[in-house]
Amino acid sequence: EAGVTQFPSHSVIEKGQTVTLRCDPISGHDNLYWYRRVMGKEIKFLLHFVKESKQDESGMPNNRFLAERTGGTYSTLKVQPAELEDSGVYFCASSLLWGYNEQFFGPGTRLTVL
């Protein structure tokens, strides 16, 4: 079974540009999470989808970040316009819906904003 995949693996953009990150969760996983690790600090929660609905977006830093999960399958995270402080590694994770369920992480997208 394929694991969580993320695209692209690396992205380098100029300040002010737009970038869209994609996450494909494990098939059948209704929970989908986005996390971010900035500058070697701790990994921080951004938001959580249950199927196509945003369950918790308390970690989203500001309105330059927009996450979607149309159809409850893959998810995208768009940053527009990107700022220098958005640089970091963006992780996606997915899990089954009910009971205790392990979160499976993707390899991450390393975003560099110049």
Nearer to other proteins, 22 or 44 (CB): 44
Q: Please tell me whether residue 77 adopts helix, strand or coil conformation.
A: strand
Cis peptide before 25 (omega within 30 of 0): no
CB atoms within 10 A of CB 112: 14
CB of residue 81 to other proteins, shortest distance in Å: 27
Segment interacting with other proteins (CB under 8 A) among 20-28, 55-63, 64-72, 74-82: 55-63
Site for other proteins in 70-109 (CB under 8 A): 91, 95-103, 105-108
**Number of residues forming the site for other proteins (CB under 8 A):** 31
CB of residue 18 to other proteins, shortest distance in Å: 27
Quick check: 32 and 69 in contact, CB under 8 A?
A: yes
Q: Please tell me whether residue 8 adopts helix, strand or coil conformation.
A: coil
